[in-house]
Amino acid sequence: MAAAAAMALTAGGECHALAETGKGDHACGTAGTGGYTCAEAGRGSDAAAGGRSYACTAGKRQDPEKQTPESLYMQFMVEGKDTVYVDELPPARVYSKMPRQKGREWRKYYRLVHNFSKAYPYALAARHLVHEVDSTIAADNLKRGKRDRYINEMQKELFEDFEQPMRSMTVSQGALLMKLIDREIGKSSYMIIKDYKNGIAAGFWQGIAKLFGTDLKKPYDPDGEDRAVEELVELWDTGQFEGLYFSLFWKFPPKIEIPSKYR
């Protein structure tokens, strides 16, 4: 169903600007999408070309601190008396609007895609956080007391950063988030609580989850029950999820703000 629903075309190309050396007027031009703007950057003598030569800025949208000479200027080739500037553009995706679909299975799929767009960014943040916590505990060789204090500090920080967005989630979104955390981390939410807190805390939260019809111990099943979710993850990883969402809902997915320290 995901393949049928995703109606996105991908187009890509290169930014080519031809310049005849030795002539007075020249503009490298504007090409494509993705923030590339080719513009004349300077002139100078070019013995190989027998006349003037030009540099062309790529105009990439980058953090100024990360810019390098290689990222600022386009590559070029001199062919006879012609200078050919070459750059590579990222794919330009064209999304189409899929007609509204009806039926119980389609309603279920619409809900899954929307819930996934809300939950998956937090699962990725959880993966980053668990890796950071495990690395810190191992690197500092934290003993029981210091380890507990460190985890409590991280827990307090997590509540400050994520309490409000977590409270705004629906029960089905929360259940999906637990599955996705299992996928990204490799252990269930129950085991995560048990490992970092204790069995009593894990049992308490498992009881709360049961009241809402979910199960913290239930493993992620990419080849069975959760196959549709796994397809959405694959689309996300290949940059196609946005196109699927747009084709279904005729708008882009909601932007989930994740603090940079969890990315």
pLDDT digits over 149-197, tens only? 877 887 788 788 888 888 888 989 988 988 998 898 888 888 887 877 7
pTM higher than 0.75: no
Mean pLDDT computed over 55-80: 60
Q: Is residue 195 part of a domain?
A: yes
d(CA 20, CA 24) in angstroms, rounded, equals 9
Mean pLDDT computed over 49-72: 48
d(CA 173, CA 191) in angstroms, rounded, equals 20
Q: Is residue 125 part of a domain?
A: yes
Token pair belonging to 84: 């050919």
Task: Give me the domain span that covers residue 238.
Answer: 104-262
**Nearest one of 155, 147, 105 to 129, comparing CA atoms:** 155
d(CA 112, CA 176) in angstroms, rounded, equals 9
| The predicted structure's pLDDT at residue 71 | 61
**3-state DSSP helix/strand/coil % of the chain, to nearest 5:** 50, 15, 35
Residue 86, SS3 per DSSP: strand
Strand bridging mode 82-88 / 75-79: antiparallel
Q: Is residue 222 part of a domain?
A: yes
- pLDDT for 128 beyond 60: yes
For the stretch 142-174, what's the b/e string if a residue is b when 16 or more beta carbons lie within 10 angstroms of its beta carbon?
A: eeeeebeebbeeeeeeeeeebeeeeeebeebbb
Q: Is residue 199 part of a domain?
A: yes
10 Å CB burial of residue 51 (0-12, 13-18, 19+) is middle
Number of domains the chain contains: 1
Average pLDDT, the chain: 73
| The predicted structure's pLDDT at residue 63 | 52
Q: Is residue 131 part of a domain?
A: yes
Q: Is residue 40 part of a domain?
A: no
d(CA 98, CA 251) in angstroms, rounded, equals 11
Token pair belonging to 249: 């809902």
Q: Is residue 32 part of a domain?
A: no
10 Å CB burial of residue 60 (0-12, 13-18, 19+) is middle
